[in-house]
Chains A and B, each alone.
Chain A
């Protein structure tokens, strides 16, 4: 299974190394007539930060949702630390050490900051089946202080917080969940420059510690080159580029996307021409 097939003109992730913590091969996923992932293979080394790029609708979020156990692939295999990885659901993936920060944040407006932080990882009292709110608040405060996010109260519903604050809670929830693989889908999307910098700094610090391996979807190429060790670009449901960030540039990444648009336009024109040339059947 280690040998990979190179589909067409696309560059595919190099074959597995021993230090791969996560590795996926030939993942496909369709939603009815729409193909989100045609054939995706990628790998993640221990302690590595992998930037996942791609145009809107390229299939990045779908891939993340498959990796975190929220959706299941149509075909293809996944390996986690050398073991077959078939998460039954998000909880199961989390138990195996894979956690995720969704693009839509997956926060519950009606629940408080600390309840959201511990949603599905609730701490319970030892004797009664009741929640240990005090402990959850304390640990939430510690995590938020650690990142540098200051919220005066942890028992207010998150609906009352700003977009940036909500996003930091979602990121903090992923980072402090004891996962060793963290998937981040646009972790800076709703943030101002100051909060964004705070999160990038957190990611840099986590990278330095080396315990956490991350796959991160970002749309800002400068941030990608700054924070990631390696980039993979999904074009049209396939990994079209796999390079260490040191060997690529904003120009190269931009060129791939521009080129994609150019090809899409040409294809559309060709189709148009074909349709014009074909006599109408009806």
Chain B
């Protein structure tokens, strides 16, 4: 067996790289090879870009600005963790070569449902779970329309985005509401925060922990489970996947549910954190677009078949750092979106360039 391996020229071995014999243990690879593998991993490029951006600002901003401090890191969190969670769910659909625009609407709708359910006399935790379950049901509806009725997912979820935003305005009369149970969930000074409050968004690192846990779980699901494999298969070649026996519709519906579920969690976390429910469709679109940007910047293809949840997290971090640093730098608020747009373009061009190098080298 090993003799055949030695005599066979490595037909598809990476060009220019050390030929990887089939028996080579994973850790025996030269350190340089490991570095190269990291650089060429799907997440690799955005991690490098993010680190470069962070280092650039750490050096260029005056020390008095405290860019490198835990206080500033806490400032970044709300500009990053919610988008990371939203993007994590979106990655699954984008790998399916579908898209879910309704996450903005679900994000808006979830806290309102939570508010109404608590108003009906249900305790906070069951109410939160129930509200997230309703969001998952919205995912089932999206998935059914796309997978079974064969309506394009962009159109379908554009419809649910408007429907949910509208429904939120109708039910709430477009009035901002105080978050129910603020006495135990608000992190205002002097208030005693309960476990529920600190877990669901009001704790300083609560959203970060949610984001990291969700990202780790979904990344493992994507790379280590049947579900992940089938998700990639459906996005890469839907007909071949169906022929091989993959239950395409089931995979699609499941991913829509995950996506909506993530959006529901973010909705509740954010309203607990901010102590209020603000039915403003403007924020819905903002959250939606930032989440899509984080996923795409992170290295997930809009065309489907490939993606990474960890990349989406780093993509969200990239956006968070950029926003925060521009704010510290005192950039006029009018310029922030402009710079953000340019940065996204630049990051994506570097991403594409590294991606091409990755394909040339023969690595995944």
- Tell me which of B222-230, B315-323, B325-333 binds A: B222-230
Known contacts A122-B226, A153-B20: A111-B232 contact under CB 8 Å: yes
Contact A152 B12 (CB under 8 A): yes
Contact-size category for A: 35 or more
Contact B8 A152 (CB under 8 A): yes
Contact B247 A89 (CB under 8 A): yes
For residue B239, which residue of chain A has the nearest CB? A104
B62 proximal to A (CB < 8 A): no
A131 proximal to B (CB < 8 A): yes
Interface size of B in residues (CB-CB distance below 8 Å): 36
Shortest CB distance B246–A (Å): 6
Contact B244 A152 (CB under 8 A): no
B362 proximal to A (CB < 8 A): yes
By DSSP majority rule, is chain A's interface helix, strand, loop, or mixed? loop
B135 proximal to A (CB < 8 A): no
Max chain A Cβ within 10 angstroms of own Cβ: one of B230, B240, B246, B362:
B240
Q: Which residues of B contact A151 (CB under 8 A)?
A: 11-12
A156 proximal to B (CB < 8 A): yes
Contact A119 B229 (CB under 8 A): yes
Max chain A Cβ within 10 angstroms of own Cβ: one of B20, B242, B244:
B244
Within 8 A of B (CB), among A87-127: 89-91, 94, 100, 102, 104-112, 115, 119-120, 122, 124
Please tell me which one of the listed residues A106, A109, A129, A131 contacts residue B244 in the complex, with CB atoms under 8 A apart.
A106
Shortest CB distance A222–B (Å): 29
Within 8 A of A (CB), among B1-55: 1, 4-5, 8, 10-13, 19-22
B334 proximal to A (CB < 8 A): no
What is the bound-complex CA distance between A131 and B225, given in angstroms? Answer: 5
Shortest CB distance A53–B (Å): 22
- Give me 11 A-to-B residue pairs in the complex whose CB atoms sit less than 8 angstroms apart, sorted by A's number: A90-B244, A106-B240, A110-B232, A110-B233, A119-B229, A124-B226, A130-B220, A130-B224, A152-B13, A153-B10, A156-B362
4 pairs of A and B residues whose beta carbons are closest in the complex: A90-B245, A106-B243, A120-B245, A110-B236
